Structure 1
Amino acid sequence: MARLANLETEYPVLDSTVRNFCASHGIFSVEDFLIHDLYMLAAFAEQNNSSERLKEGIAQVLSIIDDMHQPWLNGMELLEDAKRNKHVFPTGIQGIDLLLGGGIRVGQLTELVGPSSSGKTQVCLRTASNVARNHMVLYLDTGNSFSPQRIAYFLGKTINPSSAQAKNQFLQKVMSNISCHSVFDIFAMFDVLHQLESYLRCQDGRGGCQMRLLIVDSISSLISPLLGSSSTQGRALMTSTGYLLKKLAHQHNLAVLIINHTVGGEGGYSKPALGDSWKCIPHSRLFLSCDRGSNNYNVSILRHPSMASGKAARPSCRGDTVSSSHGPYQPSG
């Protein structure tokens, strides 16, 4: 969702009069409308000399929000949509790809949950290096965890070019297909996502190398600080974030991979951060954990639109295997 200042060209009613009024009430973007008391805003507009103009502007923003809602689809339309978006991108990690039926799904939001040092960022870097062979990747780094050296290492393990020059050319090609942006608050991420949305609109229908993967490492680092008070603003921003990510995935055939941390739950078990309001947003949720003192890790399905929860894989440095047993994650509550 865009800032109001960027909408005047398309919607002339959102002129400086409307924007200045909104700014005086802390409203600078469409997201701000979602967390504001609109009845109170309308009451303030009534008291203004330009009340009619302001009410037109408010009505226009509400219309923009309504247009962003996806229309109802019947069963056949949903089936056709599933066929169009059945493509997957392999992560390059055999166990995970076998577990997911090929990899992460295009057009959907996949969440990777796990405690600290469980290998979440390594999965993201490995996936980025694999997808960037043929497509462009946008990597949003919220904690200085992006490592081009690790990506180069992963690529070096999987290619065997005929010469050092060929290897270097291949590395340059893949690395140039990965764009990394450091974002340290939710509003900076919104700005990048709005830029991405504009870019994706322009690239649709064009040939050549296209953006096909968005990684956010990690989403919980940006949202968790907003949820510490009784204010509803944090939850509203969290919902807007999820909606925008899913919209980008669905409308532009983008695979979205995000990281979420864990927090303590009932019975001493870990559970995904961000709470119940967030858990219904990702299409797929995977839980990742690492065995202490080894390079072995476990990944299990918490949620998937076409696979049973609890199915697990155990990729390791000695080779990848997949089992149908339950992983180490135990839901609390």
Structure 2
Amino acid sequence: MTLQAGLCTALTSSALDKLRAHGVKTATDFIVKDIEVLSQETLIPYKDLCSIQRVLLAEHSAYPTLASCLYEKAIASLMILSTGCQSLDDLLDGGLYTGELTELAGDSVSGKTKLSDDLIRSKLQKVKYTQVFDIYDLFAALDAIMTDLNQQTPVKYPDLKLLIVDSLASLIYPIMGGNISFCQGLICQLGLKLKQLATHYSLAVLVTNYLTSSFNGGKKKPALGKAWSHVPHMRVILQKPVGGLGPSREAVLVKSNRQQTPKSALFSLDKDEPYEPG
């Protein structure tokens, strides 16, 4: 934030000019300075600088919180949801964590939807299904969820802990032919909303995505480009292993805030059929 005259009675136009002359132009510049030294350099009274500092700290600092309180809050809200596949759970350090957004990316028939369906099936008695046809429908559905969760006693989504969006790219691609900046803005807005749902309401959010080839024929990457790449806390690439047969798949963890990457695990999409390398 840029310093402006009138922020407090001590921050006059004259004082602001003196501060700017010594390279102090923003609130951050001011806060990191030694007040005593700054008073000597600018000839602004020490008590005036202290007054300015108090106002800036009050407006821009987070309130102190005991670490023990934060820990208790985290423990109370944290849940780890099993994917239904032990090897994939091990890859994800136990499963899907509430408060995080996990992405499954892969080519067609790589198993993204199958894994999502298996996860839903394991929680089937509490599943609510919403069909959306484009990103605007998705925004409306997410807003409806947030509105319900903001109530003191949620009616439609009580005890909601898992949100799955399958498939993200198919909802966004229909509008990609228009204004690129507008599309990237929508992607960033969607990423922010999904992460808000994850963190503010302690949900585990899982999205599926396609893999796309680069123009130079290099390695395939998850769709939606750089605007989306920073959003997921965890990213898993699903692919057929070399020599793998039938429903055999390899999950490669390529992004994680807990696990070392890259890391991989083998599994079978058929729950009754163990993985057998070819």
User: Fold match, TM over 0.5?
Assistant: yes
Superposed CA RMSD: 2.8
In structure 2, C-alpha distance between the alignment counterparts of 1:229 and 1:73, rounded to whole Å: 43
In structure 2, C-alpha distance between the alignment counterparts of 1:297 and 1:275, rounded to whole Å: 25
Q: How much does 1:79 deviate?
A: 6.8
Q: SS at the partner of 1:181?
A: coil
In structure 2, C-alpha distance between the alignment counterparts of 1:126 and 1:232, rounded to whole Å: 36
In the alignment, structure 1 residue 99 sits paired with structure 2 residue 91: yes
Residue in 2 aligned with 1:128?
120
Deviates more, 1:115-124 or 1:309-318: 309-318
In structure 2, C-alpha distance between the alignment counterparts of 1:274 and 1:192, rounded to whole Å: 21
1:32-181 to 2 correspondences below 5 Å: 80=71, 83=75, 86-130=78-122, 132=123, 174-175=124-125, 177-181=126-130
Residue in 2 aligned with 1:285?
235
In the alignment, structure 1 residue 271 sits paired with structure 2 residue 221: yes
Q: SS at the partner of 2:128?
A: strand
Q: SS at the partner of 2:169?
A: helix
In structure 2, C-alpha distance between the alignment counterparts of 1:85 and 1:303, rounded to whole Å: 23
Q: How much does 1:205 deviate?
A: 8.6
Query: Residue 294 of structure 1: which of 219, 231, 246 is its match?
Result: 246
**Percent of aligned pairs with the same residue?**
32
Query: Residue 190 of structure 1: which of 134, 139, 142 is its match?
Result: 139
Q: How much does 1:86 deviate?
A: 4.3
In structure 2, C-alpha distance between the alignment counterparts of 1:73 and 1:260, rounded to whole Å: 38
Q: SS at the partner of 1:183?
A: coil
Aligned residues: 207
CA pair 91-311 structure 1, distance change in 2 beyond 3 A: same
Q: Give the 4+ runs in structure 1 shifted more than 2 A.
A: 71-87, 202-206, 224-231, 265-269, 290-293, 316-321
CA pair 95-245 structure 1, distance change in 2 beyond 3 A: same
In structure 2, C-alpha distance between the alignment counterparts of 1:73 and 1:319, rounded to whole Å: 52
In structure 2, C-alpha distance between the alignment counterparts of 1:126 and 1:73, rounded to whole Å: 43
Structure 2: stretches of 5+ with no match in the other structure: 1-60
Query: Residue 210 of structure 1: which of 124, 148, 159 is its match?
Result: 159
- TM-score w.r.t. length of structure 2: 0.66
Residue in 1 aligned with 2:21?
none
CA pair 301-74 structure 1, distance change in 2 beyond 3 A: farther
Kindly provide the CA deviation profile for residues 150-198 of structure 1, in whole angstroms up to 9, marking residues without a partner as x.
Answer: xxxxxxxxxxxxxxxxxxxxxxxx34x2111110111111111111011
Point out the structure with max Rg over C-alpha. Answer: 2
Residue in 1 aligned with 2:262?
310
Q: Is the 8 A contact 2:102 2:207 kept in 1?
A: yes
Q: SS at the partner of 1:314?
A: strand
Q: Is the 8 A contact 2:78 2:202 kept in 1?
A: no
Residue in 2 aligned with 1:258?
207
Kindly provide the CA deviation profile for residues 116-136 of structure 1, in whole angstroms up to 9, marking residues without a partner as x.
Answer: 010000110111122x2xxxx
